[in-house]
Amino acid sequence: MEIKVAKSAGFCWGVKRAVNMAVEAVEKGKGKALCLGELIHNRREIDRLKKLGMKFIEDMEELKEGDTVVIRSHGVAPQIVDFLKRKGTQIVDATCPFVKDVHEKAIKLQKEGYPVLILGNPKHPEVIGIAGHVRNPMIINSLSELETLPKMAKLGVVCQTTLNLNFFREAIALLSLKVKELKVYNTICSATSIRQRETRELAGKVDVMLVVGGKNSSNTTKLYQIAKNVNPRSFHIESKEEIDENWFKGAESVGITAGASTPQWVIEEIVEKVREISEGGNRSGRGVCETVRGEL
């Protein structure tokens, strides 16, 4: 059974940067640092960081003067940063630079007199952070919501960096019919676009598709939705323990991709588990397992 791993699978640059900054913060804090919420959306990597000494908190009232506080890769509203400064904490800002770019573009739209619309999940921490940079933004996550909008003279648009590209295109096409002066910034991260394209292509070339990453990860969930639309034998997993050998019955090829918040060591565990299943199948006549890192 051939195993094909998507070329871009795993940590994007922004996530890798955030994790490295968090580890450095723990080391400088002599085994202690705090993070507001989850640094990234991957439960297993969060568990690893906890073992290194990082504490994840939701209540900022727990903070004390002098604490080292890491701002998650998804970013936060300016009010949060102001609060941390007033508390006298040492701030390590691990916000992804691509997310910061969305903040700047949203602010720019507001200064130019455009009402701001954010395309994305209103409950996602990245979107909550973006919304905190402008006054009264609209946040929309579906075409049905967009259809209810009235006609407008002006509108400025930014989007969650992990938004599905096809949804973005459909949303802008719909808005162009409703808004006389529409200014749009496509703030989908390039890493997101590349992963979505590779996932779509790989899922169409293999018998079984595995998408590896946190169940609470927006970008991983979108990869799974894309894969499932192309290949019904697609599965979203966080760990090798979730893999069912029955998924691979009669399969000659398996595709593996992973979200931008999935560490390489988790991907390697998945590959090894699939290899074990495949090699176990050789006794029943199945082909030799070969692993290929994709060149999609």
Neighbouring residues of 72: CB distance < 8 A, sequence distance ≥ 6:
18, 35, 36, 37, 38, 39, 40, 94, 95, 125
Report the distance separating Cα 61 and Cα 84, nearest Å: 10
Angle, CA 47 vertex, CA 46 and CA 50 arms, to 5°: 90
First to last CA, the chain: 19
196's enclosing H/E stretch is helix 190-203
* Residue whose C-alpha is closest to residue 124's, from 74, 184, 177: 74
Report helix, strand or coil for 225: helix
63 with 89: CB under 8 angstroms?
Answer: yes
In the block, which residue shows the tokens 């989850």? Answer: 38
Please identify which of the residues 58, 62, 104, 126 carries the catalytic annotation: 126
Report the distance separating Cα 49 and Cα 210, nearest Å: 25
Judge whether 268 counts as a catalytic residue.
no
Torsion of CA 231, 233, 235, 241, to 10 degrees: -150
**Which residues are annotated as catalytic?**
126
